[in-house]
Structure 1
Amino acid sequence: MDILEDLKWRGAINQETDEEGLRKLLSEKKISLYCGTDPTGDSLHIGHLIPFIVLKRFELAGHHPYILIGGGTGSIGDPSGRKTERQLQTMEKVQHNVQALTEQTTRIFGGSGHITFVNNYDWLSKINLLDFLRDYGKEFGVNTMIKKDIVASRLENGISFTEFTYQILQSVDFLHLYKKENIQLQVGGADQWGNITSGVDLIHKKEGQDAQVYGLTIPLMLKADGTKFGKTAGGAVWLDPKKTSPYEFYQFWLNQDDRDVVKYLKYFTFLSHDEIDALAEKVKTQPEKREAQRALAREVTTFVHGKEAMQEAEKISEILFSGNIKKLTPDEIEQVFGKMPSVEISSNKQNIVEWLVENKIESSKRQAREDIQNGAITINGERIRDLNFEIDPSQSFEGKYVVARKGKKNYTLAKVNDNE
């Protein structure tokens, strides 16, 4: 099975500019290809993984991928997927984000010898206004440009000339990389089809119709319920462990619906067809074991954060399932409970009733006493029924935290601060 057939099996192809031409090219030689992302923030999220995973598959098949960080295009803003103008960032912020994304993608996808990283600021910044208009603007018809989805969707609310020219700049990227690096394929999300085809057209106009360049887009990833993949109640799932901890990342994949898990195994993991088919059978016959979800969580967490972080996330999950949270380290406590409601406390011992009321976990002493006696309060994983119990922060998690739970799900992380 060639790589295009494998990508089809995995549900990873939406559109291709010339499927047969690309298949023939891939059968004849190893090629260079690229995918780009603009530095709109200092971290990618799991939505960005969608096209980059395809790049990784091409690398594993022996081809040479390039990741383009758009220091140039990011300074003006991509209009696709938006209804209004993007807020322009300062060039200092753009450069900061470029550095952060380069480091992040290098860590995940590998450095020199695996994937090459380029920044389009290096060539776009050297084009002056007159050259831009004469050498490139003349090749683009306004009537054609406004029919592209990325522009047509914005016409009702209006689009600035700055964002209107974005597709020209992305086309210049493809032309530059074709001429300088012999890159023959651009990969992007479904919303990039108009930009990619513009680049193919520009290369054909500048280099001749026999130039072998192609475009491939990835389908829009939707969950079984029709909602967009990658969003949670807490917002985006980031690849930066400081924004989304490896434990939270692992849990995101572990909690996927049975209806979606096989699709995600095909797309986001590098497991073989036979391994995925076996897991798909387990979903049908033994869904309660959630073996497919565990495999998905292990594979993607290892890919993004490494094996050690994945194993720590699994350990945390097992400890939480057993309820024995005293086995967690302070760092693991922060991973698990860091984004839950928190209060600051002193290191002094205090009666549990007073402590619960003072930290607004309970509304009154009467309610606190009632919940304690009913077994609704746990402290550091231990159910407390003694009204005279004293909370001693020095006895747990190196004296840094106390974890209180009211009922089944209402956690509060108490952080020790002796200035309190």
Structure 2
Amino acid sequence: MSTEESVPPAPAANVLDELTWRNLISTSTDEAALRKSLGAGPVTYYAGFDPTAASLHIGHLVQILTLRRLQMAGHRPLALVGGATGLIGDPRPTAERVLNSPEVVAGWVERLRSQIEPYLDFTGSNAATMVNNLDWTSGLSAIEFLRDVGKHFRIGRMLAKDAVSARLNSEAGISYTEFSYQILQSMDFLELNRRHDCTLQIGGSDQWGNLTAGIDLIHRVRPEQTVHALATPLITKADGSKFGKSEGGAIWLDPTMTSPYAFFQFLLNADDAKIVDYLKVFSFRTAEEIADLGESAATRPQAREAQRALARELTGLVHGDLAAGRVEEASKALFGGGDLTGLDGATLGDALAELPKAQLPRGEHTVIDLLVATGLSNSKSAARRTLTEGGAYVNNTKVTEGESATVSTSDLLHDRWILVRRGRRQLAAVELVGE
């Protein structure tokens, strides 16, 4: 994998200090006891990921990178992709999940495994292990599940979970299937404790009820065991909304679902007020490097230096350094900072896909037509004004011919696209189609 890992592995006893500085600890069961356990020797720990979609999204990187940070400190990670819990789905606060077929879920399990594996080291004394909870649930009968696991749960405590109570008080209600999800997740911790001596579960703060339910189950079944839970905070935007969403939906890790260019641009557009927080969570840069970038964001926000550093590092981490370099060049080129003709067709297509677009038949067109067709100008008279004032650009070249300016197939980028710009920042793409 590729990453700018300028932070050396933290000593095992101090990894909690590293996580605390990076604002990665929302709450834990007993921080003093957990610190002592981490300092005493390698701890086996896990995080779970349910295959409820064909890809993980950028929000999942919080857990994936926390797994990696703990492994860098000498501890042993288990990454669980839930082939069983993915068939059920964690209850959402609003409505019942649509159940996917076993075949679809099995395919998604493999896709998620392949997305997680590059971030972990599967060699050495603290080698990572991938696990699937279908391994210990597929042969379990309903009677065994109810007698051996279900009897340890109290309905009152289960009803108190936020997602469950929200659904109970809604018109949708909640099915017994989703209500049972927390039992299945708790059983994961118990089985990993039995099979791998796993004593720590990490997850998002919205999973805290499920994390503590797993601890309660282990205390009942294996009272001699000391186990811990650590919750990371939910990452938000400056307006309080969940980080990882754009107007087009989630920012996926799969490049066919969110292109590397769109991934890069999402990070490049991060709020100045939150960029230091994002660097701490998603970057492996040192405190000094992050402080310098934070200073740049505060004093020279127009340079976007901190955002560009995060976008370059995280895009390289997820999609590889080669792809990160290509999309960074594309990002610069779109705004006149590079050579559009030097971009490969796929990268240019991904970049232009993020812009307003218009299709016109192949042939000659006036720049006025392009400005109006793309919506950069709301009328031909407004387009004429833009041309007269020298504010129109085609493929990053300023249009100087005035109202008579035209474009044709000879101006096409990769025999398909024309980039139109009004002023410094208003961009659109025109695709010429047909014979």
**TM-score scaled by structure 2?**
0.87
Q: In the alignment, is the contact (CA less than 8 A) between 1:175 and 1:199 conserved in 2?
A: yes
Deviation at 1:145, TM superposition (A): 1.1
1:328 to 343, 354, 365: 343
1:237 to 248, 251, 255: 251
What residue identity is the alignment partner of 2:22?
Answer: R
Check 1:393–1:121 CA distance in 2 against 1; reply closer, same or farther (3 A cut): farther
2:153 to 108, 127, 140: 140
User: Which is worse superposed, 345-354 or 127-136?
Assistant: 345-354
Match of 2:232 in 1: 218
How many residues are treated as equivalent by the alignment? 417
Mapping for residues 327-406 of structure 1, pairs under 5 Å = 327-350=342-365, 352=367, 369=384, 371-384=386-399, 385-406=401-422
Distance 1:285 1:387 in 2: 41
Distance 2:312 2:370 in 1: 39
Residue ranges of structure 1 left out of the alignment (5+ in a row)? none
Match of 1:68 in 2: 80
Distance 2:158 2:143 in 1: 20
Distance 1:354 1:305 in 2: 38
Deviation at 1:351, TM superposition (A): 5.0
Match of 2:273 in 1: 259
Deviation at 1:4, TM superposition (A): 0.9
Q: In the alignment, is the contact (CA less than 8 A) between 1:33 and 1:66 conserved in 2?
A: yes
1:83 to 64, 69, 94: 94
What residue identity is the alignment partner of 2:97?
Answer: R
Mapping for residues 174-189 of structure 1, pairs under 5 Å = 174-189=189-204
Match of 1:274 in 2: 288
User: Which is worse superposed, 261-270 or 394-403?
Assistant: 394-403
Residue ranges of structure 2 left out of the alignment (5+ in a row)? 1-12
Deviation at 1:185, TM superposition (A): 0.8
What residue identity is the alignment partner of 2:398?
Answer: R
Deviation at 1:287, TM superposition (A): 4.5
- Coordinate RMSD, CA, aligned: 2.7
Match of 2:241 in 1: 227
Q: Residue by residue, what CA displacement relative to the aligned partner does 1:164-213 show, whole Å, maximum 9, x if unpaired?
A: 100000011111111112211110001111111111111121112x2021
Distance 2:168 2:96 in 1: 11
Task: Determine helix, strand or coil for the equivalent of 1:167.
Answer: helix
Check 1:212–1:330 CA distance in 2 against 1; reply closer, same or farther (3 A cut): same
Q: In the alignment, is the contact (CA less than 8 A) between 1:36 and 1:188 conserved in 2?
A: yes
What residue identity is the alignment partner of 1:170?
Answer: Q
Q: In the alignment, is the contact (CA less than 8 A) between 1:393 and 1:402 conserved in 2?
A: no
1:151 to 140, 144, 164: 164
Distance 1:356 1:198 in 2: 59
1:26 to 17, 27, 38: 38
Q: In the alignment, is the contact (CA less than 8 A) between 2:418 and 2:430 conserved in 1?
A: yes
Check 1:312–1:153 CA distance in 2 against 1; reply closer, same or farther (3 A cut): same
What residue identity is the alignment partner of 1:32?
Answer: T
Distance 2:395 2:303 in 1: 28
Check 1:391–1:110 CA distance in 2 against 1; reply closer, same or farther (3 A cut): farther
Match of 1:97 in 2: 108
Q: Residue by residue, what CA displacement relative to the aligned partner does 1:276-328 show, whole Å, maximum 9, x if unpaired?
A: 23333444455454433332222222222222222223222332333553443
Deviation at 1:365, TM superposition (A): 6.1
Deviation at 1:152, TM superposition (A): 2.0
Match of 1:126 in 2: 139
Q: In the alignment, is the contact (CA less than 8 A) between 2:376 and 2:427 conserved in 1?
A: no
What residue identity is the alignment partner of 2:212?
Answer: T
Task: Determine helix, strand or coil for the equivalent of 2:285.
Answer: coil
Q: Percent sequence identity over matched residues?
A: 42
**1:106 to 2:121 alignment:** no
Q: Residue by residue, what CA displacement relative to the aligned partner does 1:96-146 show, whole Å, maximum 9, x if unpaired?
A: 221221222224446666532222122222111111111111111111211
